[in-house]
Amino acid sequence: MSKPKLTYFNVKGRAEFIRYIFAEKQIDYEDSRFEFSAEGAKKENLPTKDEVMGALKEQGKLDFNQVPLLEIDGHNLVQSQAIASYLARKYNLYGKDNYENYQVDALYGALIDALSDLYASFRAKENKDELLKQYSEVTLPKWLGFLEKVLSRNNGGDGFAVGNDVTLGDFYLLALYESVERFNNLANFPKLAAHKERIVNRPNIKAYIEKRPKTTM
């Protein structure tokens, strides 16, 4: 059987928590990356978005004309949360019961909500600096406060995000920490800060972070 193949931009984005699953479980997979522009592709020696997306669309592998795409078990999987949930079930990273499954899914919802205003600010054609300031000073601290409380409910916030073992929920939080680190260093959220250190220092996650491509996002 061929090894899994993950196709996505050469950024963390909505694929990094998928990569964390493979890293944690030491699954051999192909991390197929491409660049947004011809200039970036030449610099990084990678194909362009148009080249890769055009081929995938022609092959009928993208149900919604979007990546990430994970080719695994004879299937073409799309939509980042659906892919992550598939892998979490497959590799026992989804919690031990329905309620823990729910908690993992709720953390994905929080991740997306916490980042939505940030992405909107980046896309804004006017008042971008003001919008980013609002995000940094108001919106992001609000969401980090919510997550600090949620984390604290599980074993006092001194273990994992869900239950008593690592789950996809921990990787959702790590993806958030990395996405917003330029705006907030978690100094006012000690439980989140300590949780981040625990997860990034898990041996397999640490090894992956040290060797992964250096990207701006």
Provide the whole-model pTM.
0.95
Helix (H, G, I), strand (E, B) or coil at 197: helix
- CA distances (Å), origin 200, targets 120, 177, 190: 28, 11, 15
* Strands (DSSP E) found in the chain: 5-9, 30-34, 69-72, 75-78
Extract the residue ranges of the chain whose pLDDT is less than 50.
none
Helix (H, G, I), strand (E, B) or coil at 75: strand
pLDDT, tens only, 132-159: 999 999 999 999 999 999 999 999 999 9
pLDDT, tens only, 55-83: 999 999 999 999 999 999 999 999 999 99
